[in-house]
């Protein structure tokens, strides 16, 4: 398979407002692909559409050979989505939450999924405490564990290190980087340009619902004679 995700001329309208205006991109197996852009550019909308949460106004999306509109159930089996402001069920313990999620997948993989989730979340003995006693960072670690424990073919991560301190964020970035070695393809969005530079194999800069530039971070730095992706972005948008 040459591409895990194929997005063609994707548009999304909320009433009269066009949030995404005909974007196209492909993500190759094992790649970390970043959608970068300012607030309201259409990043989260695009991620929500690929995650089967929102409907497509026009265009098409194909995930691992499945047409998103025709086979959303099949797509949900192979993807994992981590929303930017996601939460977990507050009345459950961390481990019970991971068990709850694992119950939706094949029974014979349940134990290994939970173990992997515990390992990624790395909450030590606090994994047995209720979620409502967790700090924001602990909850985010649990959610990253939840998103990656199923070893999805496609992980869609919206601001994966949002709310984490420097140490925790670094650990999560390493986990994301390593997960691609185990066969997961990652589509992520982030405001943190350092994170993008460190993690992404390729990026697409999105502004006002359009992809305005794309490529490998290093190639873009050379092309725009910039010191970092942030500078590239400023130059492209101007």
Distance separating alpha carbons of residues 217 and 231, to the nearest angstrom: 11
Binder of other proteins out of 81, 114, 209, 211 (CB under 8 A): 81
β-pair type (185-189, 154-158): parallel
Q: Are 69 and 56 in contact, with CB atoms under 8 Å apart?
A: yes
Count the site residues for other proteins by CB under 8 A.
29
Beta-bridged to residue 155, according to DSSP, are 80, 186
Distance (Å) of CA 174 to CA 159, 168, 181: 15, 10, 11
Query: What is the pattern of x (binds other proteins, CB under 8 A) and - over residues 1-20?
Result: ------------xxx-----
Query: Applying CB under 8 A, does 51 fall inside the site for other proteins?
Result: yes
DSSP at 108: G
Binder of other proteins out of 52, 184, 185, 192 (CB under 8 A): 52
Q: What is the 3-state secondary structure (H, E, C) of 158-211?
A: ECCCCCCCHHHHHHHHHHHHHHHHHCCEEEEECCCHHHHHHHCCEEEEEECCEE
Distance, first Cα to last Cα, the chain: 37
How near is the Cβ of 76 to other proteins at its closest, in Å? 5
Of residues 15 and 181, the one with the C-beta less far from other proteins: 15
Binder of other proteins out of 35, 79, 148, 196 (CB under 8 A): 79
Binder of other proteins out of 53, 111, 136, 182 (CB under 8 A): 53
Query: Applying CB under 8 A, does 210 fall inside the site for other proteins?
Result: no
Q: Which stretch binds other proteins (CB under 8 A): 46-54, 107-115, 193-201, 209-217?
A: 46-54
Element (H, E) at 221: helix 217-223
Binder of other proteins out of 34, 83, 94, 209 (CB under 8 A): 83
Beta-bridged to residue 34, according to DSSP, are 188, 203
Query: Applying CB under 8 A, does 60 fall inside the site for other proteins?
Result: no
Of residues 101 and 127, the one with the C-beta less far from other proteins: 101
In the complex, the residues that contact other proteins under the rule CB under 8 A are 13-15, 48, 51-55, 57-58, 73, 76-77, 79-81, 83, 85-90, 101, 104-105, 143, 146
């Amino acid at each position: 398979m040459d591409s895990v995700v194929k997005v063609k001329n994707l548009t999304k309208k909320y009433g009269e407002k066009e949030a995404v205006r005909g974007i196209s991109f492909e993500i190759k197996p094992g790649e970390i692909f970043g959608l970068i852009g300012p607030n309201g550019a259409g990043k989260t909308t695009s991620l929500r559409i690929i995650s089967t949460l929102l409907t497509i106004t026009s265009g098409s999306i194909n995930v691992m050979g499945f047409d998103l509109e025709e086979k959303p159930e099949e797509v949900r089996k192979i993807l994992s989505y981590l929303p930017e402001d996601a939460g977990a069920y507050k009345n459950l313990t961390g481990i019970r939450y991971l068990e709850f999620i694992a119950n939706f997948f094949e029974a014979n993989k349940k134990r290994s999924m939970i173990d992997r989730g515990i390992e990624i979340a790395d909450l030590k003995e606090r994994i047995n405490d209720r979620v409502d006693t967790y700090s924001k960072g602990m909850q985010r670690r649990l959610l990253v564990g939840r998103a990656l424990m199923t070893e999805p073919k496609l992980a869609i991560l919206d601001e994966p290190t949002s709310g984490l301190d420097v140490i925790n964020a670094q650990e999560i970035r390493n986990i994301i980087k390593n997960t691609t070695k185990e066969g997961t393809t990652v589509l992520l969005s982030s405001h943190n340009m350092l994170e993008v530079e460190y993690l992404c194999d390729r990026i697409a800069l999105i502004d006002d619902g359009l992809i305005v530039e794309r490529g490998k971070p290093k190639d873009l730095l050379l092309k725009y004679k910039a010191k970092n992706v942030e500078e590239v972005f400023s130059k492209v948008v101007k």
